[in-house]
Amino acid sequence: MPLKIVFLRIKFYTCLKFTNNKMKKVLNLVMSSVVILLLSSCCTVFKGSKQSIKVVTNPPGATVEVDGIERGVTPLDLRIKKGFKGQTVVLKKDGYERRSFEPETTFDAVSIVNVFFFPGFIIDAATGAMMQYDPKAYELNLTKQAPVQATSTK
């Protein structure tokens, strides 16, 4: 049991100054149940609701945007939110065509443990933690923009 919870439990007991031993046991059971419920979603607890992917471009130095927010320049270890659908990653570099992709998501087998405790399954589904990005690295070639030819008017 985490140390912080133990201290909270002791502080709670001291404040209430229970004289009834049966009441202490009931309160202990209730508090333990709440802790178990809060920590029951396996993927969210063990792996989190975000994951890092590696984005590499040829040529390097492309600006990386995720859902419209600039996140860095390639090569980049990009930490993005998990979900049933990958977030949109856009690559931009002067002189090259803009390129976008959505990382592929797959089911994370760790979330199967939640079959034994259904609220954990719901938490993992709501946070997207039951999914994972696979592959974890993306190497993309950027295409040079075609030169713009000036048209003459006579």
User: In order along the chain (154 residues), what is the average pLDDT of each group of 10 residues?
Assistant: 52 56 77 63 64 92 92 92 84 93 83 67 73 86 81 60
Structure tokens at 17: 């100054």
| Domain ranges within the chain, ordered by starting residue | 3-38, 42-141
Q: What is the pLDDT of residue 1?
A: 47
Cα separation, 97 vs 43, whole angstroms: 37
Contact 119, 37 (CB under 8 A): yes
Q: What is the pLDDT of residue 98?
A: 93
Cα separation, 16 vs 24, whole angstroms: 10
- pTM assigned to the model: 0.61
Cα separation, 69 vs 140, whole angstroms: 20
For the beta carbon of residue 15, count every other beta carbon within 10 angstroms. Answer: 8
* Spatial CB neighbours of 121, under 8 Å, sequence gap ≥ 6: 41, 111, 114, 115, 130
